[in-house]
Chain A
Amino acid sequence: MDRFERVVREYGAALARLAAVYAPERGDRDDLSQEILLAIWRALPRFRGESSERTFVFRVAHNRGITYRSRRRRDAPPPPEKEGSAREVPDTSPDPAAQLERARRHERLVAAVSRLPGPQRLAVLLHLEGLSHREIAAVQGVTEENVAVRLTRARKALRRLLGQEYREMEP
């Protein structure tokens, strides 16, 4: 269980963010997070180091996300989050207003990423988690060039989805 606990400690927050993209409803997120942990717990003994541990963990998590979503048939895009509804955001800021604003921006971004086509969505969320193009390519089973194309298209789509909000935020 040691190795698993370390993986949970290290990637837990990232896995929760990934779950949020595949399960827009808050109740489902917890459910999917647990399913992902269960899948990693099962798959971890098979990890032989052919890829980086991070790549392995995200592959398992994403594959579980696909299965979860295809079985739940939650086809509709996520409903817009109510302001300040992101209860799970860690409390690191002393300023409640700033904290609320950050939570709102995070949820808006999650909602926008959820609306991207599947392959772009995965590339984006892995990129946002800080994976390199090479690592993303390994998770998706495509070339680095494919990853670059997906990210370029996703950036344009995200700019359009979020553009209004960001324009409003400009001083």
Chain B
Amino acid sequence: MSERRDDWERWQEDWRGGGAAPDARQLPLRLGRERRRLLLAAAAEAALALAACGGIVAALVHTPRGFDRRWGIAVLVMLAGSWAIAAWQRRRVDGRSLAAATESFAALARRRCRRQLRAVRLAWLLAALELAFLVPWWIDGYRVHGLGAGSALTWFAWWVPAAAILGLLAGTLGVRRRVRAELDQLDHLERLDRLDRPEAAPGTGRDTPDPDRL
């Protein structure tokens, strides 16, 4: 018992022998940078959504057929709805979960990750639907108008929406990779947490100074 007390006392002494308070004066700078980063991300998201919606609107103006028109409107509504939901979720960033206990924080973080993965899948579905709508219109438009690749109309109706879709795919692939890595880490934390419970099998989780990942 005294040996145990000695250990902790000695380590506490060593522990408190280091660590200088961080410089809080840098915080306003960092806060400003963070705000700018969030604004930039929101602006990029808005630009992507507007470009994707703009392509459909342009197509709708020139699409007299009933089925194509309804399809285009449905995709447009879904795109605009997804953008609105993403913007709304952005406002509720993990502020609440920050102060949660470790266990519930991990659960909240996992839920957030799964929600993000669902959003990525939805974005891919929307991109596929949009392409399915736009590609025939692009082909028809090329046949009817015969515009060159550099004309203003081609830029507006073709290149910008295509670039928006490609940007969306690239962005969502990055998000998916990052979220899956975060989920792996959270699963790892949960496994370690289970091993550390008193009811864990004897011999498991103890004295395991393996270089864990969290």
| A interface residue numbers (CB < 8 A to B) | 4-5, 8-9, 12-17, 19-20, 30, 33-34, 36-39, 41-43, 46-47, 56, 59-60, 62-64, 66-67, 69-71, 73, 75-77, 86, 88-90, 102-103, 105-110, 112, 115-120, 122, 125, 127-130, 138-142, 145-146, 149-150, 153, 155-162, 166
Contact = CB atoms under 8 A, between A and B. Distances in A.
Contacts of A13: 19-21
B206 interface: yes
Contact of B211 (A77, A125, A153, A162): A77
A106 B19 CA distance: 9
A162 B20 CA distance: 23
Contacts of A129: 15
Contact of A110 (B18, B98, B185): B18
What interface size band does chain B fall in? 35 or more
A29 B9 CA distance: 25
28 contacts: A8-B24, A9-B21, A20-B19, A37-B24, A41-B27, A43-B99, A46-B99, A59-B98, A59-B99, A62-B102, A66-B106, A66-B109, A66-B214, A67-B109, A117-B196, A117-B208, A118-B188, A118-B212, A119-B102, A119-B196, A125-B15, A128-B16, A130-B12, A138-B101, A140-B101, A141-B100, A149-B198, A156-B206
B101 A59 contact: yes
B196 A70 contact: no
B185 A141 contact: no
Which of B11, B100, B178, B210 has the most chain A CB atoms inside 10 A of its CB? B11
Contacts of B10: 166
Interface of B: 4, 7-8, 10-12, 14-22, 24, 26-27, 30-31, 34, 95-106, 109, 178, 181-182, 185-186, 188-189, 192-193, 195-198, 205-214
Majority SS at the chain A contact face: helix
Contacts of B4: 155
Given A8-B24, A155-B7, A155-B8, A105 B101 contact: no
Given A59-B99, A105-B14, A141-B103, A115 B209 contact: yes
A63 B102 contact: yes
B98 A88 contact: no
Contact of B103 (A37, A86, A142): A142
A119 B106 CA distance: 12
A19 B23 CA distance: 13
Contact of B99 (A5, A47, A130): A47
Most central of B19, B27, B100, B214 by chain A CB within 10 Å:
B19
A12 B24 CA distance: 9
Nearest to A109: B14
Given A77-B211, A88-B18, A153-B206, A66 B105 contact: yes
Given A36-B22, A63-B97, 7 more contacts: A9-B21, A12-B20, A70-B185, A105-B14, A117-B196, A156-B207, A166-B10
Contact of A153 (B104, B182, B207): B207
Nearest to B106: A66
Contact of A86 (B15, B18, B106, B178): B18
A116 B12 contact: no
Contacts of B104: 141
Contacts of B97: 63
Given A12-B24, A64-B98, A142-B103, A149 B196 contact: yes
